[in-house]
Amino acid sequence: MRRSCKPVLLGAILALCSQMGSPRALAATPSFTISATNVTMPLSQGSCSNGVCTWQYGYSNFALTSVNGYTGAPQVTCAVSNPPAEAKLPTCYQYGLMPLLPANGTNNGEILFIAPGQTPPPSPASQLSRPGRATAGMALAAALLFGLGLRRCTARWFTLAILALGTLGGMMAINACGGNGNSNSMTPGTYSYVVTATDLSAGDTASTTISVTVP
């Protein structure tokens, strides 16, 4: 007795056609991952002396990794998770410029941790346009213009220039040590912080949890 192979052959062809007709179902979705290192805050947050401030910050190194050919520019944010009530803890943010994440590549960056009362360092991209310098420069220009309106003699010009330079120096000292009058003490302990990378256009996110120790 001979059995027909046609039903078996037909079923195999239909299954093969079904798989070939839906390649998107087999394709992996491009995405990304993030990892970061734990942080121990410095024992001393720094101080100001004679108008010059020296701050010490905490740092975490993070790595963004492309998965399945992802290409984009995820934004990295950082926040403490479930902080104790009334605890004085450092704030954190991604520091520095981040290039486009290449397909199947990795970008490395830094997260800066700042104690309460500290003055953040200038952004690497805005060293030449710091707000303190801009404000002080405007004050210098205003002082000089004010002097022009009052007197036009050379001797008066020299006196007003000296006065304006003194005002500029004082304002720069104030801007350099804006947090000098605040307490930088933090609540000792080990706390959980969540570092999150977000693709704002696609809505994809990836996160990791790190430990931040305040001695």
User: What does the pLDDT look like over 79-136, one tens digit per residue?
Assistant: 999 999 999 999 999 999 999 999 999 999 999 999 998 888 987 754 443 333 333 3
- Higher-confidence residue of 105 and 4: namely 105
- Higher-confidence residue of 117 and 58: namely 58
Distance, in Å, from the CA atom of 9 to the CA atom of 16, rounded to the nearest integer, reads 11
Helical ranges in the chain per DSSP H = 6-20, 131-150, 154-176
Q: Tell me what pLDDT residue 4 has.
A: 54
- The reply to whether 25 falls in a domain is no
Three-class HEC string of 132-146:
HHHHHHHHHHHHHHH
Q: Tell me what pLDDT residue 69 has.
A: 97
Give one DSSP letter per residue of 91-133, joined into a string: EEEEES--PPBPTT-EEEEEEEEE-TTPPPPPPGGGGGG-HHH
pLDDT at 50 over 50: yes
Q: Same structural domain for residues 170 and 209?
A: no
- Higher-confidence residue of 15 and 159: namely 15
| CATH label of the domain that carries residue 84 | 2.60.40.10
Q: Same structural domain for residues 171 and 188?
A: no
Q: Tell me what pLDDT residue 159 has.
A: 40
Q: Same structural domain for residues 44 and 105?
A: yes
- The reply to whether 7 falls in a domain is no
- The reply to whether 148 falls in a domain is yes
Range of the domain at 169: 129-176
Q: Same structural domain for residues 80 and 162?
A: no
Task: Decide: helix, strand or coil at residue 38.
Answer: coil
Q: Same structural domain for residues 54 and 113?
A: yes
- φ, ψ of residue 201 to 5 degrees: the values are -80, -40
> What percent of the chain is predicted at pLDDT more than 70?
60
Number of domains in the chain: 2
Q: Same structural domain for residues 163 and 75?
A: no
The model's pTM is 0.63
Q: Same structural domain for residues 60 and 35?
A: yes
Q: Same structural domain for residues 158 and 110?
A: no
Q: Tell me what pLDDT residue 20 has.
A: 53
- Which pLDDT band, with edges at 50, 70 and 90, does 196 fall under? very high
Q: Same structural domain for residues 192 and 172?
A: no
Q: Same structural domain for residues 95 and 196?
A: yes
Average pLDDT for residues 33-54, to the nearest whole number?
A: 89
Q: Same structural domain for residues 136 and 66?
A: no
- The reply to whether 82 falls in a domain is yes
- The reply to whether 26 falls in a domain is no
What is the DSSP code (8-state) at residue 205? E
User: What does the pLDDT look like over 144-193, one tens digit per residue?
Assistant: 334 434 444 444 444 434 334 343 333 333 333 444 433 458 999 999 99
Q: Tell me what pLDDT residue 137 has.
A: 39
Q: Same structural domain for residues 36 and 112?
A: yes
